[in-house]
Amino acid sequence: MTPLTIAHRGARSLAPENTVVAARKAHALGADLWELDVAFTADGELIVFHDDSLERTTGAKGLFWETTLEEFSRLEPGRRFLETDPFGQLAAGAIDEADRDAIESARVPTLLEALSLTRELDWRVNVELKRLPAARPDFPLLDRVLAVVEASGAGPEHVLFSSGEHFWLDELAKRRPEFELQALIGLLPHEPIDYLEYRFKTYNVRRTRVLPDAVRELVSRGCAVNVYVVNDEDEMRRFADAGAAGLITDFPQRQLNMIREGRL
């Protein structure tokens, strides 16, 4: 079976991650779904953002939970992407002039904007619930996320949830059992690989923490396995041959070309 194509934070190699521009690009390429990271602003609004720090993706100083929604609206991840060319795709000529204007105008979206786009496209999104920062341990992330999902009109046909914080998945299973859940494991090098007695149906595993034989073992136990972040074509083939259900990648264009050419 051909594995799913999951565009990690959108088509991250071709547009700034965690933006509507990257999501639209991944959809246009033919990716099955996209992945986003939920963060929150100083004034309690939910946004789509990965790092604690603003610097890598926007060039600004500060931390996401210390930054207001209005301040986020003025950040320029698109301009930062064009300046840094993080995957070398501008230099390689893989991004044409027609895309540059859209990239340059990219902004940090709210979670509502991201979910509304997913519903508009009749697509799917993997909403990752990340670990709360030590400075804001009591932020009601799950309650706020579920409220935004409700407001967007997106249902389980559009949204699935993943997290390395498995207590959130347990809570979702109780409160909203209609949604698909995926347990992230092996997030950090010092954290053990723990399949939690195989109590989840789907595991998302870092490619550097799992071998194809381990994927085969999980699949034999009836689990689905998504491997992240798989950008190399040889690795794509090895994990697909081992039975991975999905390959989370920054380069959906590579995987899709392999599928179309019969190499995957």
Question: What pLDDT is attached to residue 9?
Answer: 77
Domain that residue 182 falls in: 4-260
CA–CA gap between residue 117 and residue 1 (Å, rounded): 29
Contact 184, 162 (CB under 8 A): yes
pLDDT of residue 96: 92
The distance of Cα 135 from the centroid of its chain, to the nearest Å, equals 24
Q: Which two tokens stand for residue 34?
A: 């996209």
* Count of structural domains within the chain: 1
Cα–Cα dist 108/114, whole Å: 10
Q: Please provide the size of the chain in residues.
A: 264
Q: What is the pLDDT of residue 191?
A: 72
Q: Is the dihedral of CA 140, 146, 150, 154 positive or negative?
A: positive
Check residue 6 and give its pLDDT.
Answer: 79
Alpha helices in the chain (DSSP H): 20-29, 55-58, 69-73, 77-84, 97-104, 111-120, 141-152, 166-175, 212-220, 233-241, 252-260
Q: Find out whether 203 and 226 touch, Cβ atoms under 8 Å.
A: yes
CATH number of domain containing 53: 3.20.20.190
Task: From first to last of the 264 residues of the chain, give the pLDDT tens digit.
Answer: 557 787 777 899 999 999 999 999 999 999 999 999 999 999 999 999 999 999 999 999 999 999 999 999 999 999 999 999 999 999 999 999 989 999 999 999 999 999 999 999 999 999 999 999 999 999 999 999 999 999 999 999 999 999 999 999 999 999 999 999 999 988 877 776 777 667 899 999 999 999 999 999 999 989 999 999 999 999 999 999 999 999 999 999 999 999 999 998
Determine how many CB atoms are found less than 10 A away from the CB of residue 58: 24
Q: What is the pLDDT of residue 1?
A: 52
